[in-house]
Amino acid sequence: MRLFGIIFVIAAVAISSAAVADDFGDPAAGEQVYRQCKSCHQVGDGAKHRIGPHLNGIFGRQAASHDGFRYSKALSRAGTSGLEWHADTLDAFLENPKAIASGTRMSFPGLKKPKDRLDLIAYLRAFSDNPANIPEADPTASPTDHDIDPAILALKGDPEYGEYLSSECTTCHQTSGGDDGIPSIVLWPEEDFVLAMHAYKNKKRSHPVMQMMAGRLNAEEIAALAAYFAGLEE
């Protein structure tokens, strides 16, 4: 009789954790996804920086904030202007690292399946189990779907309009490609440009000036800018 009781409790726990896994991803599946990350990143006991920084305690951490790791200028900039790693920002970054920090040295095309990202984030959560660096709200934040509608990516912009709009960019960004203090925006692949601008517009990418500038551009205008800048390359 007592034995039955224990079995019952175990079953109840199993059911409830399955429900959690549905909301927050399945850490076991995430461990499988993590195999793609392993060649560059370590996580868990004794993890050290390798090609990429170790991933212990990543939740709540400011991007590019390990003292002992040399980050790209782009990710450092994103960190100082407010990018912190939480479920939503990790999800956006894992989907397409370059959309969040264009010049990141993380040369990884991104995880396109939302479930893979959800699972991976659930797996990484296990290594952030230190109350000191997990804000209360973190575990309950669920990833948001921010896929850019393919119709938006397919838009053909008017380069002449783009040229006019680009004059607003060149007040700060140099067309020579100089990047002291302000990043370069020339010679970007068109799609990366569109993704980055939409990431600012949707406030997935941090920087108050860029969020403001991109915020009032509509999809056609962003496409026009991309078309203009792409035309410059030729």
Partner 1 sequence: MTLNRRQFIGTSAAMATVLSAPMVKAQGKPRVVVVGGGAGGATAARYLAKDSKGGIDVTLVEPTRKYYTCFFSNLYLGGFKEIEDIGHTYGGLAAGGVNVVHDWAVGVDRAAKTVSLAGGVSVPYDKLILSPGIDFVDGAVDGWGLSAQNAMPHAYKAGSQSELLKAQLQAMPEGGVFAMVAPPNPYRCPPGPYERVSMVAHFLKQNNPTAKIIVADPKPKFSKMSLFQEGWANHYEGMVDWIGEDFGGGNVSVDPAAMTVTIDGEETKVDVCNVIPAMKAGRIAELAGVTDGNWAPVNAADMSTKADADVYVLGDAASQGDMPKSGYSANSQAKVCANAVRGALTGSKVFPAKFANTCWSLIASNDGVKVGATYEATPEKIAKVDGFISQTGESADLRKATYEESEGWYTGITTDMLG
Closest distance to partner 1 from the beta carbon of 227 (Å): 14
Report yes or no: 186 and 232 within 8 Å, Cβ to Cβ. yes
Q: Which residues ranging from 17 to 76 are in contact with partner 1 (CB under 8 A)?
A: none
Instruction: Calculate the CA dihedral of residues 190, 142, 115, 20 and round it to 10 degrees.
Output: 180
* β partners of residue 84: 62
- Written as six digits, the tokens of 149 are 């509608």
* H or E segment to which residue 193 belongs: helix 190-201
The window from 3-11, 36-44, 103-111, 164-172 that contacts partner 1 (CB under 8 A) reads: 164-172
Nearer to partner 1, 31 or 179 (CB): 179
Applying CB under 8 A, among 1, 3, 181, 234 the residue interacting with partner 1 is 181
Closest distance to partner 1 from the beta carbon of 167 (Å): 4
Applying CB under 8 A, among 161, 192, 220, 231 the residue interacting with partner 1 is 161
Applying CB under 8 A, among 11, 12, 18, 172 the residue interacting with partner 1 is 172
**Could you say whether residue 160 binds partner 1 (CB under 8 A)?**
yes
Q: Which of 173, 178, 161, 160 is nearest to 210 (CA)?
A: 173
Nearer to partner 1, 153 or 211 (CB): 211
Applying CB under 8 A, among 170, 187, 218, 233 the residue interacting with partner 1 is 170
Terminal CA-CA length for the chain: 79
**Could you say whether residue 216 binds partner 1 (CB under 8 A)?**
yes
**Could you say whether residue 133 binds partner 1 (CB under 8 A)?**
no
- Provide the CB-side half-sphere exposure for 122 (13 A, CA): 23
Report yes or no: 87 and 138 within 8 Å, Cβ to Cβ. yes
**Could you say whether residue 135 binds partner 1 (CB under 8 A)?**
no
**Could you say whether residue 220 binds partner 1 (CB under 8 A)?**
no
Applying CB under 8 A, among 45, 145, 171, 234 the residue interacting with partner 1 is 171
Applying CB under 8 A, among 173, 190, 202, 231 the residue interacting with partner 1 is 173
Contacts of 166 (CB under 8 A, 6+ apart): 225, 228, 229
Q: What are the strands, taking DSSP E only, across 30-181?
A: none
Report yes or no: 148 and 198 within 8 Å, Cβ to Cβ. yes
- Written as six digits, the tokens of 190 are 């068109």
**Could you say whether residue 187 binds partner 1 (CB under 8 A)?**
no
DSSP 43: -
Binding site for partner 1 (CB under 8 A): 77, 79-82, 160-161, 163-165, 167-168, 170-176, 178-182, 208-209, 211-213, 215-216
